[in-house]
């Protein structure tokens, strides 16, 4: 087999922690891997840690240190073990079923990263070992979520990082596609818990998926960005169900019957308004720099046009960052202001769809639907393929229901 013939047959499959939470599940997955292998595919399997075992390891670290923060290097050594357990077990089960398999950790799989322990980024993957195992006709089981730095230390990619491992491996191996198996069946038009007519989306493009990452199958946005940059299609599906999942790819959805793909919802949003600031250069930077220095990400930002040289500046952040953010703004020295007003109990509702691009009228229609239901809009922001409103959380259900219906998202296509 030449390298190209191999690539054309490789499929990378990733199994999430909830799909691997006990031995029955591991055995079931092994059976479906064997079935797939018998069709002639060359399989590279990326596994997460079993169930909640990564959380358990975090707790264990807290217990032994008495909640003192541990060295990031040792924390990565510890957390990387969760994935080792599942990779070894999966390989054992396959071998005991006469399917040749081998487990590889991040180092053996050649996954090079930078040195940022706890949130390392993959710099490149040297695939020689993986390819040589594939040539021996083995199913290669790779521990997700980990790699190693230039100095040879184990690193982890950040919580939920094994999606990124899988996509990066698929790209490095020039695989046909990357398949993510999880406990939900795919990506939905909106959160099925909010709206029971939410339906599974067959295909979605990368940009839409990035806007919708909060829906249904929670894919790590970093893995979608990576797939998008390298045009690697991702198929998201349920591990234990036969029904079709969602294909995320680079294709255009412009010709879709539905110009709107879905409604994304984010809860626990709060807002900060800084009232009565002088309208001059450097104000926005002066207010937001202290927050970014502390790793607080600011989302929707609105600045009013000024009256008599004075203006108001409002932004949203996640509720858990609110106290810290207001404190930072009060103590910063660059911007003089009159007062700070905060608001909690807010949510973000976004209409997402590539088909909205260059077609006016969607925003007006959205606002009309909300006003018909007496939903007051707090803030508005848009991108080319998204219209977002910030509203009171108590309005979310009625907003989603009515938007879902008015934009025909409940109709099958």
Residue ranges binding ligand ASP (CB under 6 A): 17, 48-49, 54, 82, 144-145, 159-162
Choice between 47 and 385, CB closer to Mg ion: 47
Q: How far is the CB of 83 from Mg ion (least distance, A)?
A: 10
Q: How far is the CB of 128 from ligand ASP (least distance, A)?
A: 25
Q: Does 80 bind Mg ion (CB under 5 A)?
A: no
Choice between 11 and 49, CB closer to ligand ASP: 49
Choice between 144 and 290, CB closer to Mg ion: 144
Q: How far is the CB of 344 from Mg ion (least distance, A)?
A: 29
Q: How far is the CB of 86 from ligand ASP (least distance, A)?
A: 9
By a kind-dependent CB cut-off of 5 to 8 A, residue 161 interacts, out of Mg ion, ligand ASP, none, with ligand ASP
Cα atoms found within 13 Å of the Cα of residue 43, Cβ hemisphere only = 29
Burial class (CB in 10 A: 0-12, 13-18, 19+), 41: middle
By a kind-dependent CB cut-off of 5 to 8 A, residue 164 interacts, out of Mg ion, ligand ASP, none, with none
By a kind-dependent CB cut-off of 5 to 8 A, residue 145 interacts, out of ligand ASP, Mg ion, none, with ligand ASP
Among 26, 29, 47, 48, binds Mg ion (CB under 5 A): 48
By a kind-dependent CB cut-off of 5 to 8 A, residue 233 interacts, out of Mg ion, ligand ASP, none, with none
Say how many Å lie between the first and final Cα of the chain, rounded: 41
Dihedral (Cα; 105, 108, 113, 114), 10-degree rounding? 100
Instruction: Residue 167: count other Cβ atoms within 10 Å of its Cβ.
Output: 30
Token digits of residue 386: 């998204």
Q: How far is the CB of 330 from ligand ASP (least distance, A)?
A: 35
Residue 239's contacts (CB-CB under 8 Å, 6 or more residues apart) are 15, 16, 19, 25, 28, 29, 181, 182, 183
Q: How far is the CB of 124 from ligand ASP (least distance, A)?
A: 20
Q: Does 82 bind Mg ion (CB under 5 A)?
A: no
Burial class (CB in 10 A: 0-12, 13-18, 19+), 21: middle
Phi and psi for 187 in degrees, rounded to 5? -100, 135
Q: How far is the CB of 51 from ligand ASP (least distance, A)?
A: 9
Per CB under 5 A, which of residues 144..183 are in contact with Mg ion?
none
> Which of 46-54, 69-77, 189-197, 297-305 is the region at the interface with Mg ion (rule: CB under 5 A)?
46-54
Cβ-contact 153, 112 below 8 angstroms: no
Number of residue whose CB is nearest Mg ion: 17
By a kind-dependent CB cut-off of 5 to 8 A, residue 110 interacts, out of Mg ion, ligand ASP, none, with none
Q: How far, in Å, CA of 42 to CA of 160, rounded?
A: 25
Helices (H), 294-376: 322-331, 362-372
Q: How far is the CB of 66 from ligand ASP (least distance, A)?
A: 23
Choice between 160 and 262, CB closer to ligand ASP: 160
Sole residue written with tokens 């499929």: 11
Choice between 182 and 347, CB closer to ligand ASP: 182
Choice between 77 and 275, CB closer to ligand ASP: 77
Q: Which residues pair with 351 in a beta bridge?
A: 263, 387
Per CB under 5 A, which of residues 8..37 are in contact with Mg ion?
17
Q: What's the longest Cα–Cα distance across the chain? A: 79
Q: How far lies 251's CA from each of 227, 254, 256, 285, 359, in Å?
A: 13, 9, 11, 37, 19
């Amino acid at each position: 087999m030449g390298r190209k013939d191999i690539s054309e047959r490789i499929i990378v499959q990733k199994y999430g922690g909830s799909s691997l939470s006990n031995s029955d599940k591991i055995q079931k997955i092994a059976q479906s891997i064997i079935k797939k292998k018998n069709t002639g595919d060359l399989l590279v399997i990326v596994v997460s840690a079993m169930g909640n075992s990564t959380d358990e390891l975090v707790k264990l670290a807290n217990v032994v240190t008495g909640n003192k923060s541990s060295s990031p290097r040792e924390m990565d050594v510890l957390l990387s073990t969760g994935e080792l357990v599942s990779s070894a077990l999966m390989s054992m089960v396959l071998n005991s079923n006469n399917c040749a398999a081998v487990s590889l950790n991040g180092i053996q799989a050649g996954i090079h990263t930078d040195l940022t322990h706890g949130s390392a980024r993959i710099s490149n993957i040297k695939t020689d070992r993986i390819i040589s195992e594939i040539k021996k006709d083995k199913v290669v089981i790779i521990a997700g979520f980990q790699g190693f730095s230039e100095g040879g230390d184990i690193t982890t990619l950040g919580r939920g990082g094994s999606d990124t491992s899988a996509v990066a491996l698929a790209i490095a191996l020039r695989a046909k596609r990357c398949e993510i198996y999880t406990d939900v069946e795919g990506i939905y038009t909106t959160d099925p818990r909010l709206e029971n007519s939410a339906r599974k989306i067959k295909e979605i493009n990368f940009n839409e998926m990035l806007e919708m990452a909060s829906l249904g199958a929670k894919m790590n946005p970093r893995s979608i960005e990576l797939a998008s940059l390298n045009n690697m299609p991702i198929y998201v599906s349920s591990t234990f169900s036969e029904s079709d999942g969602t294909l995320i790819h680079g294709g255009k959805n412009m010709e879709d019957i539905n110009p709107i793909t879905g409604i994304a919802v984010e809860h626990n949003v709060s807002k900060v308004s800084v009232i009565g600031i002088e309208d001059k250069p450097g104000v926005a930077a002066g207010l937001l720099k202290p927050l970014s220095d502390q790793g607080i990400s600011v989302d929707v930002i609105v600045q009013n046009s000024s009256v008599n040289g004075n203006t108001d500046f409002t932004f949203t952040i996640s509720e858990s960052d609110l106290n810290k953010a207001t404190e930072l703004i009060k103590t910063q020295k660059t911007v003089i202001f009159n007062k700070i007003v905060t608001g909690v109990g807010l949510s973000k509702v976004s209409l997402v769809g590539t088909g909205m691009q260059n077609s006016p009228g969607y925003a007006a229609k959205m606002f009309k639907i909300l006003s018909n239901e007496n939903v007051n809009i707090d803030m508005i922001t848009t991108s080319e393929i998204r219209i977002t409103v910030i509203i009171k959380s108590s309005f979310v259900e009625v907003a989603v229901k009515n938007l879902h219906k008015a934009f025909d998202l409940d109709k099958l296509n």
